[in-house]
Structure 1
Amino acid sequence: MDIRVTIDGRSVDASLNDSPAARDLASLLPLTLHLEDFHGTERIADPPRKLTTEDAPEPQAPKTGDLAYYAPWGNLAVFYKDGPSASSDLLILGRIDADAGVLSTADRITIEAVS
């Protein structure tokens, strides 16, 4: 599913995969999140509610540009560096096609469905 993402006023291409968690995120759109840095690897924010983890896909190590959901804390993450090894607690929801420099300094992200 293609989505419209705006990072600090700059539009970038992005898409969600077809996982139940990604579809659950899509049901919350449009969504504006204020991001903060976490561990020098990702920018994180809390969605309005926890997402489903039902039928989660196989764990994958996050890569730069991945949009992910960390189930234990219920937060979304935008990775600007490749992340740690795969974890069953981290669900990859999609990709944001933006430069790592843009992702690493992002303060505000708006995610909208493409109609």
Structure 2
Amino acid sequence: MNKTQYSLVVFGYLSLLLVLLSLSVINAEAKNRVDHHSQKKRLNMNIRIQIEGSKQPISVTLIDSPTTQDFIQHLPLTLTLKDYAASEKIAHLPQKLSTQGAPKGYAGKSGDLTYFAPWGNLAFFYKDSDVGYANGLIFLGKMDALPNDFSQKDELNVLISQVK
């Protein structure tokens, strides 16, 4: 290989390296814009649950999904929560929520707010589910703190509203 050919090969490699570096910088900038946008959306996806007779509301941070977007459209809601399976408080919603794009199922964990599509009810888990994975269970969000009232067997009246 002569000197000219060698220079062309080195120039080609350097040009390729420069293009790849530029693409990675552009990709990182685009990712930051997307992350900032989705983080901004998540900040507006909070709800408050006020238990009748309690002075301390519960905050829930929701994920961004078609099911949670549909749920938010129905707020504010006043519901009666009933104990179910000694691990969750449930309440039937006035109408079913969208399940578009939702996973087929989920295993409820302590602190989760979920939607059980087959029955059309919300489920607030105060213990991990004994059943484990349940078809039709859709994760909506996470309670910031678990209220002691949930572990009692009594029914609870709650007001659920969006935090704006």
TM score, norm. by length of structure 1: 0.89
Pick from 75, 86, 103 the counterpart of residue 29 of structure 1.
75
Name which structure has the greater RCO, CA cutoff 8 Å, separation 6+. 1
Displacement over 6 Å in runs of 4+:
none
Q: Secondary structure at the match of 1:60?
A: strand
1:78 aligns with 2:124: yes
Pick from 44, 65, 69 the counterpart of residue 19 of structure 1.
65
Q: Which has the higher strand share?
A: 1
C-alpha displacement of 1:100:
5.4
Task: Give the aligned length.
Answer: 115
Q: Secondary structure at the match of 2:107?
A: coil
CA separation of 1:109 and 1:98: change in aligned 2, threshold 3 A:
farther
Which consecutive unaligned segments of at least 5 residues does structure 2 have?
A: 1-44
Task: Identify which range, 98-107 or 79-88, moves more after superposition.
Answer: 98-107
Which consecutive unaligned segments of at least 5 residues does structure 1 have?
A: none
Q: Secondary structure at the match of 2:69?
A: helix
On the 8 A contact 1:64/1:100 being kept in 2, the answer is no
Greater Rg over alpha carbons, structure: 2
Identical columns (%):
43
Q: Which has the higher helix share?
A: 2
Q: Secondary structure at the match of 1:76?
A: strand
Q: Secondary structure at the match of 1:26?
A: helix
Matches within 5 A, 1:45-60: 45-57=91-103, 59-60=105-106
What CA deviation, in whole Å up to 9, does each residue of 1:24-65 have, x standing for no partner? 110000111101111111111111100011100363311111
